[in-house]
Each structure stands twice: as structure tokens, then as C-alpha cells.
Structure 1
Amino acid sequence: MKLNTLLHKDAERGPKLAVALVLLFACSLPLFLTDYRLFQATMVLVYAIAILGLNLLTGFTGQISLGHGAFFAMGAYVAAVLMDQFQVPYWATIPIAAAVCLVVGFLFGLPILKLEGHYLALATFSLAVALPQLLKHKSLEAWTGGVQGIVLSKAAPPIESLLGMHLSPDRWLYLVTLAIAAGLFLAAWHLLRGRIGRALIAIRDQPVAASSMGVNIVLFKNLAFAVSALYTGVAGALSAIAVAFVAPDSFTVFLSLSLMAGVVIGGLASIPGALFGALFLQFIPNLAGGISKAAPWAIYGSLLILCMFVAPGGAAATGRALVRRIRSWKRPASVARITEQST
């Protein structure tokens, strides 16, 4: 019994150590990266938040959405309009965008989540198609800027330096985005480990059994959709603040499809997989453009297919399999060491 306890504790140290090392590495990036590279790192965190939100709905609840680019755009425009029209501080626009997307996501989910499978996917896809056109409409042009969009100023840091490091706008926004992303990832981890997370997974795997056990399927589906929209809206607001520009053509249907691709590449029902999917979305299109200027999207599609062949379960699942294989090689020595400790 004591041996099993020691083995269990030894196995738990790995993920905690990995999270600590990733956070330490992320916090150290402003020390040696240029402002442009930090901007790219900020966008990786932004996409990771959006992909995590979509994964809460698709990976953990089993509801396919091809319209989350609309919530990304909604969060971006809420932040941009508040900053441009009402001079609201950039940091105050983030919770407002989150609240707006939470309410809209819940209300939109009430009728739409009565659908299942490809019907639900098609209904959410229509939202991604319609919203960019609505943003261009003349009745909203005074607020949204129409086709021209809204140009914002870079968010200035409240202090000039931190721990001896000069804070440019890009460095400051990276640190702010990192703090928000860490908080949202931690919140998702706690959410999924609790009663709500178990209910969502039950709805995904066995909805009939979940209903018979007293799970309110309609309520939990709506909550999942609303929280998913909240995460995506926060990502959109952070994107608008970081890029300092929003326009309808930046939030086309391709954004929704890219977010879904990021979920699949990172790994369904995987919290750390959101980071791998975000890295793919940020850097692979640039890599494809560098390989071929004439047909970059053909290269992008080929790389996407290659990723599916190499890691069919997603990057996170492949990483876990690799870690298990390495541990199996080291297990005899580890068991001998723990046996000595137990005796």
C-alpha cells in the first residue's frame, strides 16, 4: 500500500513540474525576445484562450461549433468600440467583453443547442457567416467603422520598468495577456475537475445515462456554450488591444474554421493542447507563406494533413504517449528507488 502511494506521488510530480517550467519559461520571454516576437507570443496566448474556450464546448461537451469566430469578433469589437467611442481604459474593456459574450452565448445557445451533430455545426456556421456582414452595415457604421474598421492606439504600460526591465507596450501587453491566460487556464482546470466537468463529460459520452442520473442536459449545454463564448470573447478583446485594429474582414469564416483546426491539432478534451493548437495557428501560416509565395494555402493544407498523420490524436495525446514511453524505460530504476525508500 505504501509502495503504491509513493508511486502515485512520483507520477503526479511530472505534470506539476512541467507546468512550473512552462510558466517560468513564459515569464522569462520578455528578457530576451524583441517586441515583434513578443507580439507573436501574445497572439499565441490569445489563440490559446480562444481554442481552450472552444474545446470546453467541443472536446469536453461534444457540441460542434463552427461559429466561434463570431464571438471572437464580438469581443474584439466590444473592446474597440468602448476604447474608441467612450475612452474606456483597455483593461476595463476585457471584463465587459467577457460579460457581453457570456450573455449572448447563453441566449444564442437556448434555441441552437436543441440541434445535434452536423445540424448544430451548420447553425453556428451561419453565425460566423452573418456577423462580418452585419459589422459592415450602414446602420452600425458609426460604431464599427464599416469596412474601414477601427484603428486604436497601443496600450501604454502604467509603469516604465519592472524588475529593471524596460516595459514597451508589446512587453506590457504580453505580461497582461500571460496573467489572464494563466488565470483562465487555471479556472478551466478547476471547472473540469469538479461536478460541472463530470456532468459535461457525461453529456458528451452518455447523454441518456446522464439524464437518468439527474443531469439537466439543456442547462449544462447552455452553460458550456456561454462559458465557451466568454473565453473566446476575452481572446477577441485581447486581440483587438494587441493588434490595435479591428475590421470585419479580419473575422471571416476562416477564423472559425482555424479555431476548430487548432482544437483538433492540439487535442480534443485537452487543456494543454490549446497551447499546441495556438502555436500551429500563429506560425504555420507564416511558414507556409515562406515555403511558397504562389500557393501558401496549399502548403498550409498539406502541413495540416501531415499533422493529422503524425499525431492523429492531437499534439497533447502524442506528448503524453511519449512521456509514458520514457517513463516505462525508467520505471524499473524508479520502482527500485521507491522500494528502498519504503523499506
Structure 2
Amino acid sequence: MSAAEEVVAEGHQAVEAVPKRAMTLGTGTSLVVLAALLIAPVFVKNFIIFQMTMLLIYGLAVLALNILTGGSGQFSLGQSAFYAVGAYTTAVLMEHFNINYALTLPVAGVVCFGFGFLFGQPALRLSGVYLALATFALATAMPQLLKLNFLEHWTGGVQGLVVTKPDAPFGLPMSQDMWLYYFTLVVVIAIYIFSVNLLRSRSGRAFMAIRDNEIAASAMGVDVALYKTLAFGVSAAITGIAGSLGAIAVQFVAPDSYTITLAISLFLGMVVGGVGWLPGSIVGAAFIIFVPNIAEGISKGLSGAVFGVLLFAVIYLVPHGARQIAILGQQLAGRLRKN
């Protein structure tokens, strides 16, 4: 069922579904959010700017998973593998070949697109939990593959690689963290616009037709095999670009940084943000970045338990994630305008 057609239930009271175009924010809301993202770094310290950069990066990775799961209905627990490939592609190109960091992003995207497209081929016979298990195996194997001896010269083995954080170009009077934040923001906005247009295009409609009913989509002439593998490739490419930005921001890549824990965190971010609702990707990213810190602040010894309780509360109160809150807010605003 698409985001436009789904009815969000709160108790026994049904909430009216929103139109299909509401998969994104309205123009006014988008401008307000963009203005906040542009202005905020001027008033905060570098560490906060770094956290905001990571928020954008994880939001991009969650958005990629949203295209795959929310768009085409394919479950994946292997996004950490694509994230790792993108991060290592950038690290190797920057440190071994002295390639400009900005030029490594499209290279990482192309490499991960090929990787995801090829992985999608054998995964065509799988669906549901079986596909999730296959991608889980990929995420589990990737850190070990990066430690192989014959790759150690390039990847640094278990010790990883140190990545040089770029300075602001043209002598701009801003710190490295602030420049990287604005650079990341431009990349994220560009990919977000691309993703919205993709889901509204013919390919996006094919994705959603496969998600809703694969047999019916095939009967209508949709090439199911092509579009399922294409969804994997696009999702992997965006995740790889997020991994590239993450490597530059953190200034370090190592195999143990891209374990199955990262994949589960991205999946959790998608659920909290709202499956199929692209703006919720940032909300989901904020949850997986800041809520663990809040839980640790409440109780360092029981931070995992506190995080579990907070997560359970969110899932219980808003089972459809941030999208449900947005729908309710939109309906409330509509009623206030009528009154």
C-alpha cells in the first residue's frame, strides 16, 4: 500500500490518507527547513557542526534504504556493506592516488551502483525475510572481506586508513567542519531532489507497482527483474555516496566501523522516519544519532535498556513513524484554516 493510500490508525479512529504528492514536504515547509540548515552552523561550535554533518550523511543513507524498501518493497539489512564500499573507495582514491575528494563521490556512486546491481541479480529469486537474510549475510561478510591480506595494501587491513579532511577552497574564511557541512548539504539536497523526481517518474511508478503487487505489475508490462535490480543499484549508489561523505567527515575508515550494527541502525532510522516518506529520513537519522546519547545520559550502565524502552515507546505511540505525525499535523492545520 502506498504512502498516499495508507490510512494511519490511532486507536480506533482512522486518520484520513494524504494525497500522493505528500510523500514530500510542502514548498513553504521545505524553505523553512532549508533556511534552518543554512543558518544553524553559523551559531554553533565545530563539534555541533560535525554532528549536523553526520546527521545529513546518515539521513542520506536512510533515504537510499527508503527508495529500496519504501519504493520497491525490497527489504535489505546489507546497507552497511554498500556504505563501506563507498567509504573505502573514497579513502583509497584520496590517500593512494591523491584524487580530489569531490571527484571521489561520483566514482564511489558508480562503483556501488554496479555492486548493488550485480547483487540484485541473484537476489531476484528471493523476497521478504529470505532477501533480508541474504543481505544480512552480505553485511556480516563485508568487514571480514576488507581485512583480507591481499587487500591490506589498499585498505590498511584491520588498522584501516586515515583520510585527510579538506580545507575550504578559494581561501573562504570558514573551518574545515563548516565547509564540509555545506558541501554535504549541497550533495544531500541534490540527491534528495533526484530521489523525489525518481519516485514520481515512470521508473518510480514501476517500483511502487512491484511493491504493491508484483504479479499485477508484471501483467501490466513492468519488467520486474530489471526494476528490482535497478532499485538495488540506485539505493546502493546513494548509500555509497553517503559512505564517501562519512569517510571524509570522520577522517578514518576501518572494517569494524561498518558492521551489521550500522545496517540495523539504518533500517531502524527508516522505520522511525516513516517507510516511503523521504523527509522522514532526516528524522530517522536524528533518532539513531542522538537517542543513544540521550539514553546514556539517563543511565550509563543501562543505556541499552533505556534505548530499547525509548524505541518501544516510539513504535507503540507512532507505529508509522514521523510520517504519521506529519499527516496529523497537516490535518490539524487544515482544520484550523477552515475554522
- With the length of structure 2 as denominator, give the TM-score of the two structures: 0.91
Cα offset for 1:125?
Answer: 0.4
Query: Is 109-118 or 320-329 further displaced after alignment?
Result: 320-329
Q: 2:103 aligns with which of 89, 92, 117?
A: 92
Q: 1:121 aligns to what?
A: 132
SS where residue 249 of structure 1 aligns? helix
Deviation at 1:159, TM superposition (A): 2.8
Which residue of the partner structure matches residue 42 of structure 1?
53
Note the C-alpha offset of 1:295. Answer: 2.4
Cα distance, 1:173 vs structure 2: 0.3
- Residues 235-287 of structure 1: per-residue CA shift (max 9 Å, x gap): 00000001100111111100000000000000000010101101111111111
RMSD of the TM alignment (CA)?
Answer: 1.7
Matched, 1:292 2:299: yes
Does structure 1 residue 261 correspond to structure 2 residue 253? no
Query: Aligned partners of 1:134, 1:291: CA distance in 2, in Å?
Result: 37
Corresponding position: 1:154 with 2:165: yes
Offset at 1:35? 0.8
Q: 1:157 is aligned with what amino acid? A: A
What are the superposed Cα offsets for residues 291-337 of structure 1, whole Å, 9 maximum, x if unpaired?
Answer: 221122222221111110121111122222122123213214xxxxx
Partner SS for 2:169: coil
Contact 1:58–1:65 at 8 Å: present in 2 too? yes
Report the AA paired with residue 171 of structure 1: M
Q: Which has the larger radius of gyration?
A: 1
Aligned-pair CA distance for 1:82: 0.9
Q: Say yes or no: does 1:191 pair with 2:202.
A: no
1:113 CA displacement: 2.4
In the alignment, the residues of structure 1 paired with residue 139 and residue 322 of structure 2 have an alpha-carbon distance, to the nearest angstrom, of 27
Question: 2:331 corresponds to which residue?
Answer: 324
Q: Check conservation: 1:66, 1:122, Cα contact below 8 A.
A: yes
Superposed CA offset, 1:56-81 (max 9, x none):
01111110000011000110011011
Give 2:73's aligned residue.
Answer: 62
**Residue pair 1:132, 1:248 contacting (<8 A) in 2 also:** yes
**Alignment correspondent of 1:145:** 156
% identical equivalent positions:
48
Show the counterpart of 2:211: 204
TM-score (norm 1): 0.90
Give distance in 2, aligned partners of 1:64 and 1:35.
36
Letter in 2 for 1:237: S
Contact 1:159 1:167 in 2 (8 A): no
2:93 aligned partner: 82
Give how far 1:36 is off.
0.7
1:24 aligned partner, one-letter code: A
Please point out which of 287, 297, 310 is paired with 1:280. 287
The residue number in structure 2 matching 1:218 is 225
> Which residue identity is paired with 1:44?
L
1:33 Cα offset (Å): 1.4
What SS is found at the alignment partner of 2:71? coil
Output the CA distance in 2 between the equivalents of 1:226 and 1:86: 26
Return the offset for 1:190.
Answer: 0.6
Letter in 2 for 1:182: I
Q: Which residue of the partner structure matches residue 234 of structure 1?
A: 241
Name which of structure 1's ranges 15-24 and 313-322 shifts more when overlaid on structure 2. Answer: 313-322
Question: After alignment, is 319-328 or 69-78 more displaced?
Answer: 319-328
Say whether the 8 Å CA contact 1:276–1:316 is kept in structure 2: no
CA contact 1:265–1:314 (8 Å) conserved in 2: yes
| Runs of at least 4 residues off by over 6 Å | none
Kindly state the Cα deviation for residue 156 of structure 1 after the two structures are TM-superposed.
1.0
- Which runs of 5 or more structure 2 residues have no equivalent in the other structure? 1-18
Taking the TM superposition and a 5 Å limit, the aligned residue runs for 1:298-337 are: 298-332=305-339
